[in-house]
Amino acid sequence: MTNANMIIATLTHKNGKSVAITGDMTKNDMLAAIKATGNPLGGTSLNELITGKKTDIAGWTCAKTETTPEDTPATEPAASEQPEVEAAAPNENAAPANPEVVQLTPEQAALAKDVEAAMPTRDAEKKTLRGTDWTKVLPTSPQAVKRDSMMHRLFVYLCTPGGVTKDQILKEFNWSAGGLSGILHWEPKAKGYFLKSEKKDGKLYYSLCFHAAYKGGAEPTLVQPEEILIRDGAAANSGLAAKIKELKKAAGIPVQEAAPKAPKEPTEPKVEAAAGANASKVRVSKEQRAQVPPSAGNITKRTSAKKQAQQNG
């Protein structure tokens, strides 16, 4: 008979690490076990692997566990009680058995169904800007970036001959991997550039390019560091944020409007305020200070010094 600790599937990564999925594991337990291997996987991806919607995601593959003799129903007659059947001659025309297709017991199928129900799914009805023709919104000619800013440094680094990988970018800028994909996907486009990716030795190398429309060629051309437009002051408002807001409104996506700023209360000028605070103080000019006689201590000092000079003379 089946039990909760029975392995219902095994996830294997291309680097050789594997994770056994048992019937008593929750979704969080599965994700934690996968993350412990150093190759994390999302909940939706795990769901697609277990249900067979996809066979390979981020290097992970899933193999369902075949039925073992311990899972054989008790009502099945023992081998000694089964009538002997003459072995049939092998049929050369018969289709070969598919080793990837695994027949699950009712208990295993029920466990797999529970796992699938616990997996998060994407909201298909959620309105997004996916499918938007960004060529009508984003600039196709280079826009200036602030000198020595983070984007300026990133664009110059993306001009490295042969391109750079994500790992090299993370190491160069000491960034976390969380938002790098979004930066590479959005920032070059927002500044009128095109990010070209090329796979070499199993790794993606990214290079900064001009749009084909800007150079008038059939293919995007690589950008040289000295070709990046640079500004020293504040940039003019390109209106890109307003265009994206209009697209969201047209698609029915809620847009959070900025709260209006409260008007500033009139304040007393600092010069007048300082003059009012010092009105009670008596002002003494340089001429008045020069007319003040020296103190007694200074007179004694001067007299003693004069006598000393006379004695030494």
More confident position, 36 or 166: 166
Q: Which of 245, 155, 161 is nearest to 194 (CA)?
A: 155
Domain ranges of the chain: 1-69+103-122, 140-231
Under the banding of pLDDT at 50, 70 and 90, the label for residue 38 is confident
| Amino acid letter, residue 187 | E
- Condensed to tens digits (0 to 9), the pLDDT of residues 205-243 reads 999 998 877 777 677 889 999 999 998 877 667 777 888
C-alpha distance from residue 1 to each of 78, 106, 116, 156, 196 (Å): 15, 11, 22, 64, 56
Place of tokens 């969380």: 178
Q: Is the pLDDT of residue 253 over 80?
A: yes
Place of tokens 């938002």: 179
Distance, CA of 76 to CA of 201 (rounded, Å): 54
Under the banding of pLDDT at 50, 70 and 90, the label for residue 159 is very high
Under the banding of pLDDT at 50, 70 and 90, the label for residue 20 is confident
Rg (CA), the chain: 39
> Domain 140-231 maps to which CATH number in 3.30.70, 2.60.40, 2.60.120, 1.10.10?
1.10.10
> Could you tell me where the DSSP H helices lie in the chain?
27-35, 43-51, 106-118, 150-158, 166-173, 180-190, 212-215, 240-251, 270-277, 286-291, 296-312
Q: Is the pLDDT of residue 156 over 80?
A: yes
0.75 cut: is pTM over it? no
